[in-house]
Structure 1
Amino acid sequence: MSSHTQTPQTVVEAYVEGTRGRDIELLKQIFHDSAIMTGWLGPDFLNGSPEPFYTALETNEVGADYTSNIVSVEISDKIATAELHETNLLGLSFINHFHLAQLHDGTWRITSKLFRHF
């Protein structure tokens, strides 16, 4: 079991680390293979896999002024929710809501990310 997937908290922390460092392999470890990302990016409503997020990170610098704040992590048995605020990610700031699930092997993964930028 990876230290990044031991708890919902460590998964969200790994999301921040992977985003800041543009570490796509780490991000792919913490998102479930069937994860979806849904939200508003400007006037565009997006709903699909995390692949466009990975591509945006691969092709753009995150910037030294990127910051994040884990607002909450709530666990209920084998499911969890988390809220994360990000500032200056690719020039935008976001509010993210994650759904996480504990898999049969005991690890945790992000199953969905709901976001909006401001």
Structure 2
Amino acid sequence: MNDTAGATTPTLLLQMYVEGCKTLDVRLLRNCFHATAVMNGFMGRQLYLGQPDPFFDDVTDLQLRAIDNSRSTYEIKSVQKFGNIASAIVITEYFASQHNFIDLMHMIFEADRWWIISKTFTTREGP
């Protein structure tokens, strides 16, 4: 899915996010996040608080270094929609062939499309 026009359901938005991660497509990933989005969490024991820009920078770096992301897998779990808000869990294994994540996503519906407004993440050991 390379639809940069925007997602019409929370699940389609998460599929866009997963596709952007799989293909290391920063343009597609940026189109998933609201302009005021926050991204907070842990890489190991290191706490990160702020906006998703460092994530976009990391994905750009991976792409420029031609990092193999073909082993990565993604599972979208427990999508729940309540009117104009939604939440979900995304499980990622082998991102950049080395990182496993649990992402808690919060989404909003604005301007006729869904956006990720908040991503809270943590790394985890093994698949």
TM-score bracket, shorter-length normalisation: over 0.9
SS at match of 1:64: coil
Q: Which residue of 2 aligns with 1:101?
A: 108
Instruction: Find 1:27's aligned residue among 26, 29, 36.
Output: 29
CA root-mean-square deviation: 1.5
Instruction: Find 2:94's aligned residue among 70, 79, 88.
Output: 88
* Counterpart contact for 2:23–2:69, Cα < 8 Å: no
Give 1:26's aligned amino acid.
L
- Which runs of no fewer than 5 residues in structure 1 stay unpaired? none
Aligned: 1:77 with 2:87: no
Q: Which residue of 2 aligns with 1:37?
A: 39
Which deviates further from its counterpart, 40-49 or 58-67? 58-67
| Cα deviation, residue 30, structure 1 | 1.1
- Which runs of no fewer than 5 residues in structure 2 stay unpaired? none
Aligned positions, number: 117
Runs of 4+ with >4 A deviation: 1-4
TM-score, structure 2 normalization:
0.87
Q: Which residue of 2 aligns with 1:46?
A: 48
